[in-house]
Amino acid sequence: MIPIEEARSYVMDRCAPLAAAATEVADALGLVTAVDVTAKESLPPFANTAMDGFAIRSADLSTIPTRLQIVETIAAGHSPTRALGHGEASRIMTGAPIPLGADAIVMVEKTSVDGDTVSIETQVEPGNHIRPAGDDVVEGDLVFPSGTELSAGHLGLLCSLGLHEIETYPRLRVGVISTGDELVDDGGALAPGQIRDSNRRTLLSLLSGDGFEPVDLGLIADDELAIETALVHGAQQCDAVITSGGVSMGDFDFVKAVLDRVGEMRWMQVAIKPAKPLAFGTIEGTPIFGLPGNPVSSMVSYELFARSGLRSMMGFPQPIRSVIQGVAAHPLARRADGKIHYARVLAKHEEGKTVVYPMSGQGSHMLASMARSNALAVLPDGEGCEAGGRVDVLLLN
Ligand code: AMP
Ligand code: MG
């Protein structure tokens, strides 16, 4: 067995970021920027009012109330046509440009209109309710650096600044293959010995949840030639491929044999439970993750190896999920066996702490307990963790 760090380094060393490319902002949610973004415009682009009200000259308000002459109404999206003289005001709507001569806004609630005059009932400082040009971003500012994961807010900001394309690492296309003679996916009655394929759906879903583009490459029998064809096609079509099954010690575990023959492969026995076997290789440079077949093992192996490697390929500066500190609500018992155990738990936020509740059913085939959990407790080799003890936690969503 090798330590998880060694297995992960081997994977990460072969998962370099893809070449960056120009991406439309509309397609960039969740992608990572490959360049610093600098503002070519200021935001707001012009001084405007933060309130519906009246643009005035603050010096006119030395006594209040003061009656001013209304000279025009300025709506958002329209330019003022009049400069304000002494004793004049313009009715103005939120977002509209400030007219020349005005130096402050009085909100409509502090005024009363009578015909074409307005009575101002409060004194205001110069600049009151005016949003100056460049208040948010000044032309030439670094808006966000290379290596930023683009959120909804970032994309809105790019639109505000008139940027429609941005240099990012491309969204990774990741193929998923299930292997196993026992697997069916047609929804019909099960023949003796058959089970239904679940790994393809979980892996495709994990991929889309993590911002990758999943590609369903189907269900392949335990047939060496069929597996070879699927892997070679998958490697041509996709940026990376994930298989499940066929990487253990069984007589029909062909994935690692094929990977070894048509690519460069390292078969690893990692000192973790679940998900001990991992076949990781490349076919003409395309990473192939041969995950174990047990449904929980495939998900844990995805979390620990595939997700980190794929995120690295997509340019994430921190591809590996950080552990957080939790507290065990009940004992998390285990036996010393030279492995790190990843126990399914339900993590809850309670009184400022992350409290983890162990799930019953920790077998690597027990998908129901995986589905009901939201985190993995990381239990180093030893006797586990007592109730109330501190434990490292990987929050899975
Ligand atoms: P293997 O790694 O191929 O030896 O498979 C280990 C276990 O996981 C066996 O019990 C398989 O039947 C099961 N298994 C493999 N692939 C899948 C899958 N796609 N969906 C559900 N169970 C699977
Ligand atoms: Mg199998």
Q: What is the pLDDT of residues 254-300, one digit of tens each?
A: 999 999 999 999 999 999 999 999 999 999 999 999 999 999 999 99
pLDDT, tens digit (0-9, with 9 covering 90-100), for 57-90: 999 999 999 999 999 999 999 999 999 999 999 9
Q: Whose CA is nearest to atom 17 of ligand 1?
A: 293
Q: Which residues are in the CB-under-5-Å shell of ion ligand 2?
A: 180, 245-246, 293
Ligand with an atom nearest the CA of residue 293: 1
Q: Is the CB of 292 under 6 A from ligand 1?
A: yes
Find out whether the beta carbon of 195 lies less than 6 Å from any atom of ligand 1. Answer: yes
Which whole-number Å values give the CA distances from 87 to 55, 68, 108, 364, in the listed order?
Answer: 11, 5, 17, 80
Residue 44: pLDDT band with limits 50, 70, 90: very high
Mutate which of 177, 181, 195 for ligand 1? The one with the most ligand atoms within 8 Å of its CB, which is 195
Phi-psi region of 140 (alpha: psi -120 to 50; beta: other; left: phi over 0): left
CA–CA separation, 104 and 125 (whole Å)? 7
Look at residue 397 in the predicted model and tell me its pLDDT.
80
Is residue 95's pLDDT more than 90?
yes
Domains of the chain, first to last: 4-18+172-313 (3.40.980.10), 21-41+144-169 (3.90.105.10), 48-131 (2.170.190.11), 324-395 (2.40.340.10)
Residue 293 Cβ < 6 Å to ligand 1 = yes
Percent of the chain with pLDDT over 70: 100
Q: Is the pLDDT of residue 347 over 90?
A: yes
Name every residue whose Cβ is closer than 8 Å to that of residue 242 and which is 6 or more positions away in sequence: 174, 175, 176, 177, 203, 207, 288, 289, 291, 302, 306
Mean pLDDT of 11-27: 98
Is residue 183 in contact with ligand 1, taking CB distance under 6 Å? yes
Q: List, as own/partner pairs, every contact residues 71-74 make where C-beta atoms lie below 8 angstroms and the sequence separation is at least 24, other chains included.
A: 72/99, 74/99
In whole numbers, what is the pLDDT of the chain averaged over residues? 97
Q: Which residues, other chains included, contact 268 with Cβ-Cβ below 8 Å and sequence gap of 6+?
A: 2, 7, 10, 277, 278, 279, 280
- Residue carrying the six token digits 């041969």: 290
Pairing of strands 130-131, 21-24: unpaired
pLDDT, tens digit (0-9, with 9 covering 90-100), for 233-246:
999 999 999 999 99
Return the percentage of the chain with pLDDT > 90, whole number. 99
pLDDT at residue 151 in the model = 98
Q: How many other C-beta atoms lie within 10 A of the C-beta of residue 201?
A: 14
pTM for the complete prediction? 0.95
Q: What pLDDT digit, counting tens, does each position of 158-200 carry? A: 999 999 999 999 999 999 999 999 999 999 999 999 999 999 9
Please tell me if the CB atom of residue 250 comes closer than 6 angstroms to any atom of ligand 1: yes
Residues composing the chain: 397
Output the pLDDT for position 219: 98
Round the CA-based radius of gyration of the chain to a whole number and report it: 31
Closest protein CA for atom 8 of ligand 1: 294
Among 294, 364, 367, the mutation site with the greatest number of ligand 1 atoms within 8 A of its Cβ is 294
Give residue 285 CA to ligand 2 midpoint distance, Å.
25
* Residue 246 CB–ligand 1 contact under 6 Å: yes
What is the pLDDT averaged over residues 127-153?
98
Q: What is the reported pLDDT for 362?
A: 93
Q: In this predicted model, what pLDDT tens digit does every residue of 356-376 receive, in sequence order?
A: 999 999 999 999 999 999 999
Ligand 1 centroid to Cα of residue 300, in Å, is 14
Residue bearing the CA closest to ligand 1, atom 3: 245
Residue 146: pLDDT above 90?
Answer: yes
Task: Specify the pLDDT at position 394.
Answer: 98
Helix (H) or strand (E) holding 54: strand 53-56
Q: pLDDT tens-digit profile of 96-125?
A: 999 999 999 999 999 999 999 999 999 999
pLDDT value of residue 306: 98
Mean per-residue pLDDT, 27-39: 98
Atom number in ligand 1 closest to CA 222: 3
Atom of ligand 1 nearest to the CA of 246: 3
